[in-house]
Amino acid sequence: MNIIPVIMSGGSGSRLWPQSRSLYPKQFLPLVNDQTMLQNTITRLDGLENISPPLLIANEDHRFLAAEQFRQLGREAGGIILEPVGRNTAPAVALAALKALNHKGPVNVPDNTGTSAIPDGRTKAQSFSFDDDPVLLVLAADHVIQDEGAFHRVVEAALPAARDGKLVTFGIVPTHPETGYGYIKALNHEAHEEHKGIFGVSEFVEKPDLETAEGYLASGDYYWNSGMFMFKASRYLEELKQFRPDILVACEKAMAVQNADLDFVRLDEDAFKVCPDESIDYAVMENTSDAVVIPLDAGWSDVGSWSSLSDISDKDTLGNAVQGDVMLHDTRNTYVRSEKKLIAAVGVDDLVITESDDAVLVSRKDRVQDVKKIVERLKAENRTEAKLHRKVYRPWGAYDSIDCGDRFQVKRITVKPGAKLSLQKHYHRAEHWIVVKGTALVTNGDEEILLTENQSTYIPIGAVHRLENPGKFDLELIEVQSGGYLGEDDIVRLEDTYGRV
């Protein structure tokens, strides 16, 4: 029986602004090491036995980012399922379970009376029949696990229980009375002797206050709720059918009209939009009688804020954690992250200081949760800093907005070898392209021209045009836009390799 990893990658990571943006969230960023958090999650699976390529559940807006992360690793995904809208973890895992079972139609959906449609004489365990019923290992794309060996051992220890029909959740052994996590209360050892080191679940509890969290830690019966799970695909669908059939029906309908598009699996948008928004904890884990918890002590963090990232970072003798070009003087217990600029900090304590190419954040460590308030204001004012970085990635490469002003904008464009932009035109802007590196094949109206370094072309307003890199190295050029409106929505795509017409 194979294990299919299911990696959930739908979060926005607003508490890690300005690095994390809604169209480029934290799971796609290299916050901890040279790999992105998603790539760390993928490579963390190396060494586990009987592991299939992972299924990724991603936001529609992140599809090319997600595919690029796999490409950079030289890995293939088992599938990238695109959610047209976010509906929380219970539907996301249902989509993965249906995909893992090669679902192509309704699976004993409830009848219109709300009662089970399982025929008389069949047990719940018989209600699904599949040739291959894989075990799903459900993971978040944006968690840190420092001890991968311990993670592997716990996954392998959980596998027999999952194969026996249990719904396993991984409980993090707490290191301090944390008020930012939910908790799982475990039953005693005797309740589940058949699976050594795996305990029944007494209850799931919400984020506690400090006094309650201290009591949880002292009792030894509570674990942090990691949001990671392991169970057979059919068992999850059976329990979802019993407790939240409305979610199952919506997901089945959405998957019934799935369309393959490059690396992606697209759903029926209208069907999925009516799916309830619910977490797997509320929908299934708090209701099932087959939930068990296995302790995990592996240096886990959900990296939910700048302070939590600081906690897992290497520090100097004064408790400072730095990354990038940083100079400190008389500074203590401070996290400083520089992307491109020199950051100097003098005489400060307990701060977070971080900069991106278009924003700077300074916060007290005990107030970093309120970064989301800034993001809410940026969204309310429709500012681009909430959504995009100055550098924006596309399936063909990337562009970096170097400068802009009244009626002009300057971009540095990079096109990957063999890639090409859409055949397009603009109603409100003209463009001037200057090649600075590589070779460009340019369609400009009725002409097709080849440009090399230091050569240029002018694209008038309304002219049909396309940019392509026919070479074996990256193409880099400077684009100067001029006109009355320079928004990205002034693109009329006539033909596109990536299905964006």
Q: What percent of the chain has pLDDT over 70?
A: 91
Question: What pLDDT score was predicted for residue 109?
Answer: 35
Q: What is the pLDDT of residues 288-318, one digit of tens each?
A: 999 999 999 999 999 999 999 999 999 999 9
Q: Are 109 and 245 in contact (CB under 8 A)?
A: yes
272-289 tens-digit pLDDT = 999 999 999 999 999 999
Mean predicted confidence (pLDDT) in 447-473: 97
CATH homologous superfamily for 3-164+228-277? Answer: Spore Coat Polysaccharide Biosynthesis Protein SpsA; Chain A (3.90.550.10)
- Residue 391 is predicted with a pLDDT of 85
Burial of 196 (0-12, 13-18, 19+ CB in 10 A): exposed
| Amino acid 262: pLDDT | 66
Q: One-letter amino acid identity for 359?
A: A
If one compares 376 and 388, the residue with the highest pLDDT of the two is: 376
pLDDT digits (tens, 9 = 90+) for 421-442: 999 999 999 999 999 999 999 9
Distance, CA of 235 to CA of 240 (rounded, Å):
8
Nearest C-alpha neighbor of 89 from the set 231, 273, 236, 278 = 278
> 3-164+228-277 and 391-495 share one CATH topology?
no
Q: What average pLDDT does the chain have?
A: 90
Strand 343-346 and strand 326-329: pairing?
parallel
- Average pLDDT for 375-395: 91
Per-residue confidence band for 500, with pLDDT thresholds at 50, 70 and 90: confident
In order, the DSSP letters of 332-398 are: BS-EEE-SSS-EEEES-BSEEEEE-SS-EEEEEGGGGGGHHHHHHHHHHTT-GGGT--SEEEETTEE
* pLDDT beyond 80 at 450: yes
Local confidence band at 102 (pLDDT 50, 70, 90 cut-offs): confident
Residue 202: is its pLDDT beyond 90? yes
pLDDT of residue 174: 94
Is residue 105's pLDDT more than 50? no
Has residue 466 got a pLDDT over 90? yes
- Domain 391-495 - what CATH class? mainly beta
Under DSSP, the state recorded for 60 is G
What pLDDT is attached to residue 240? 97
d(CA 150, CA 297) in angstroms, rounded, equals 7
Question: So what's the pLDDT on residue 121?
Answer: 32
Query: What is the side-by-side order of every strand in the sheet holding 429-437?
Result: 391-394, 397-405, 408-415, 475-483, 429-437, 456-459
| Predicted confidence band of residue 120 (pLDDT cuts 50, 70, 90) | very low
Looking at residue 128, its pLDDT comes to 37
* Residue 235 Ramachandran class (φ > 0 left, ψ -120 to 50 alpha, else beta): alpha
Mean pLDDT in residue range 413-428: 96
Please tell me what DSSP assigns to residue 285: I
Q: What is the dihedral of CA 17, 20, 21, 24, to 10 degrees?
A: 170
What confidence score (pLDDT) does residue 488 get? Answer: 87
Q: What would the mean pLDDT of 117-121 be, rounded to a whole number?
A: 32
* CA neighbor of 3 nearest in space, from 197, 163, 188: 163
Report the 10 Å Cβ neighbour count for 178: 18
Pairing of strands 397-405, 447-451: unpaired
Q: Is residue 320 over pLDDT 70?
A: yes
- Asked whether residue 184 carries a pLDDT value surpassing 70, the answer given is yes
On the question of pLDDT at 112 being above 80, the answer is no
Domain boundaries, the chain: 3-164+228-277, 306-370, 391-495
Segment 56-85 shows an average pLDDT of 92
Please report, as a single letter, which amino acid is at residue 250: A
Pair 250, 101: CB distance under 8 Å: no
The reported pLDDT for the residue numbered 115 is 34
Q: Are 1 and 133 in contact (CB under 8 A)?
A: yes
> pLDDT at residue 104 above 90?
no
Q: Please compute the mean of the pLDDT values over residues 158-164 and round it to a whole number.
A: 95
Compute the distance between CA of residue 121 and CA of residue 138 in angstroms, rounded to an integer.
32
Distances (CA, A) of 166 to 219, 231, 395: 25, 6, 41
Mean pLDDT throughout 250-259? 87
- Top pLDDT among 188 and 110 is at 188
For residue 107, name the pLDDT band (cuts at 50, 70, 90): very low
- Given this model, what pLDDT does residue 261 score? 67
| Predicted confidence (pLDDT) at residue 70 exceeds the cutoff of 70 | yes
Question: What residues contact 113, with CB distance under 8 A and at least 6 apart?
Answer: none
- Token look-up 């109206």 returns 445
pLDDT band at residue 127, thresholds of 50, 70 and 90?
very low
| Region 328-343 average pLDDT | 96
pLDDT at residue number 349:
98
pLDDT, position 501:
66
**Residue pair 328/181 in contact by the 8 Å Cβ criterion:** no
